[in-house]
Amino acid sequence: MKKFMNAAEDFVHDMIEGVYRANKDKLEYVPEYNILYRKDIPEDKVVIMQGSGSGHEPAHIMCVGKGMLDAACPGNVFAAPPMDYVYECTKRVANKAGVLHIVNNYQGDRMSWDMAKEMAEADGITIKTLIVNDDVSVQDSLYTVGRRGVAGNFFVIKCCAAAAERGKNLDEVLAIGERVNSQVRSMGMALTSCIPPAKGTPIFEIGDDEIEIGIGIHGEPGRRRDKIKPAKDIVEEMFEAIYTDLPFAKGDRVAVMVNGMGGTPISELYLLFNEVAKKCEEKGLTIVREYVGNYCTSLEMEGFSLTLLKLDAEMEELLADPAEIPIHVF
Amino acid sequence: MKKFMNAAEDFVHDMIEGVYRANKDKLEYVPEYNILYRKDIPEDKVVIMQGSGSGHEPAHIMCVGKGMLDAACPGNVFAAPPMDYVYECTKRVANKAGVLHIVNNYQGDRMSWDMAKEMAEADGITIKTLIVNDDVSVQDSLYTVGRRGVAGNFFVIKCCAAAAERGKNLDEVLAIGERVNSQVRSMGMALTSCIPPAKGTPIFEIGDDEIEIGIGIHGEPGRRRDKIKPAKDIVEEMFEAIYTDLPFAKGDRVAVMVNGMGGTPISELYLLFNEVAKKCEEKGLTIVREYVGNYCTSLEMEGFSLTLLKLDAEMEELLADPAEIPIHVF
């Protein structure tokens, strides 16, 4: 295993500390609980929180900022945050407008967040929970009852956060998030496995000419194995699976995300986007916004996921709102 | 070889077409010459151009936009753009304010750009050339006389482009770029080799526990091989090489770039940045701006480069100016 780290047990801490060091003016960091939160959360704005396993960066520890998450409390790599992390985080950021917990649908995460919610509610904090489950690949999975939550999560966060910044109340923000989740669909695939730092070996074996269609972001099995094939054929299969699931229809306005799994160069992601854009044209979908890059990764896995969100007028406005994240581009 | 592509010979075209499809409102694309350029280049603003081999994305084809490049004309993967691409691109974007060619120091690139410059000058176009050579790893290299140009290129482009947007003339923009180039230093290293699409095999062999310190972005040999070691020790070696080269000194204000080589997850890049920030603190350098992500890559290579730029007041202002690039983040 070759990875940039000091020791496997310090991987998550050292990474979060890096994000914090780059953003000390805007963020607070509580190392004992892996908590990163905004210094300037308004008292009257609904608070948006998330925390899941680490290893999916920039989701979600690198998404704390005005117009995105107010706080994040990740667990170790591919491990849900312990309930006391979530509880502690909730207590630190709660205000009178209430807190929205956005939770990706994995049983480990749900257990931590459910219990933390109970504990925080006992302290008088108002909390609503929103479950994200956008992955069409499989029904039930290794760590999930129902569908898994993957990159569609970003659209949920962005719309909820923008609505909260616009002054919507907790029920309204929850309703928007639920609408986004109901209209977003994703599917992933992999060329290679990643290697979790503490494990030191790949989480699954895959041949030099094989791909896994419908992979999960923790290496959960997908729909099937196939031989490597042209990008347009891979996109064709995934696009059809997503398109028919909602289903999308001619005339829909959509946001499209081509999400790298961590080890895929951006050249290949734009090449894939090109094929996705052709499919949208063929189907009569109008791409209103496109997102091409690494959003919800699986460490250094080579692969990508495709996400389509069917937009309405409000979502279009919310996605276009400004967001300050702790990652510079230029 | 597992890559997202349709055919190796279409790799560059399909990727650029993807960038174009995502930005049809702002960019023009000329497929015969791999040219991407801004629709709205002002008539009285110095034009900023670059083009080198493909495979280093987002450098530089994904950096065409207001406040960054006005035009890019890359060659094939790891191949300089042919002189007629550069000539054609120059003709299409030239205006009365003149054109700045920013060229990374590789002999193949220099030949194309020199000849294209002569051809365009014969047409009455005013051109200045700026050579970027920020890599401290080795003096002379496989494809280079002198030092190689790598990720420091971004600071040169950003400052030149911002100065041009502010209305500086060609000589002034060139002078700023030369000052940035004289004060920026980089060094790269790799855990793995990449595989160029047309070659289909790695460009170099490296052991499962080996790293190459001082690697070039086309796999050119670096200073030495070593065994994989803790991130802080890798950073220590590279930081010292860069720090002593300028040399930097206590009290300097700097911009820092931790640049992924394409296959390195952003979690590891922030972990590396954390170590770099500690070194800066130890040396008494103030980090004014940090850049952590993929800027100048080598396809899917796992590795990173470190860049430090010693800032002056003008550079600080120019780096903070807005830039519109064809890549969404949120």
Identify the residue among B159, B160, B267, B295 best suited for mutation to test binding to A, counting A beta carbons within 10 A and taking the highest: B267
pLDDT at A327: 77
Looking at the complex, report in whole angstroms how far the Cα of residue A212 sits from the nearest Cα belonging to chain B.
12
What does the alpha-carbon distance between residue A159 and residue A165 come to, in Å, rounded to a whole number? Answer: 10
A125-176 pLDDT, tens per residue?
999 999 999 999 999 998 999 999 999 999 999 999 999 999 999 999 999 9
Q: What is the pLDDT of residue A30?
A: 98
Band (B327; pLDDT cuts 50, 70, 90): confident
Nearest to B328 among A275, A289, A294 (CB): A289
CA distance A242 to A219: 20
Nearest by Cα to A101 from A136, A66, A126, A76:
A126
What's the rounded mean pLDDT across residues A224-248?
Answer: 98
What's the CA gap between A305 and B242, in Å, rounded? 38
Q: What is the C-alpha separation between B122 and A3, in angstroms, rounded?
A: 52
Residue recorded with tokens 């290579």: B301
Joined together, the tokens standing for residue B262 give 């394409």
* pLDDT above 70: residue A330: no
| B237-251 average pLDDT score | 98
Q: Which of A55, A275, A327 sits opposite B329 (nearest CB)?
A: A327
pLDDT at A326: 78
Q: CB-based contacts of B24: which residues, under 8 Å, 6+ apart?
A: none
Helix, coil or strand: residue A115: helix
- The ipTM assigned to this model is 0.96
Q: What is the DSSP letter of B258?
A: E
A185: which strand partners?
Answer: A308
Closest CA to B189 of B255, B238, B142: B238
Partners of B305 on chain A (C-beta within 8 Å) are none
**Does pLDDT of B325 surpass 90?**
no
pLDDT at residue B42 is higher than 90: yes
* Whole-number pLDDT of residue A146: 93
Kindly state the average pLDDT of the residues A12-39: 97
Q: Does pLDDT of B330 surpass 70?
A: no
Inter-CA distances, A156 with A36, A182, B195, B199, Å: 20, 10, 36, 41
Based on the number of CB atoms within 10 Å of its own CB, is A84 exposed (0-12), middle (13-18) or buried (19 or more)? middle
Q: What are the beta bridge partners of residue B309? A: B184, B255
> How far apart, in whole angstroms, are the C-alpha atoms of residue B117 and residue B83?
9
Query: Does the pLDDT at position B329 exceed 80?
Result: no
Spatial CA neighbour of A256 closest among A187, A308, A181, A314: A308
Question: Dihedral through CA B63, CA B104, CA B297, CA B158, nearest 10?
Answer: -40
Q: Letter for the amino acid at A252?
A: D
Mean pLDDT, chain A, rounded, equals 96
Candidates A55, A228, A231; nearest CB to B267: A55
pLDDT band at A236 (very low <50, low <70, confident <90, very high): very high
Catalytic residue among B13, B56, B101, B328: B56
Secondary structure of residue B303 in the 3-state scheme: strand
pTM score, whole prediction: 0.97
In which residue are the tokens 């094989």 written? A210
CA separation for the pair B212, B220 (Å, rounded) = 10
Catalytic residues of A: 56, 218
Nearest to B326, CA basis, from A32, A67, A35, A273: A273
- Give B218→chain A minimum CA distance, Å: 15
User: Inter-chain contact A299–B267, Cβ cutoff 8 Å?
Assistant: yes
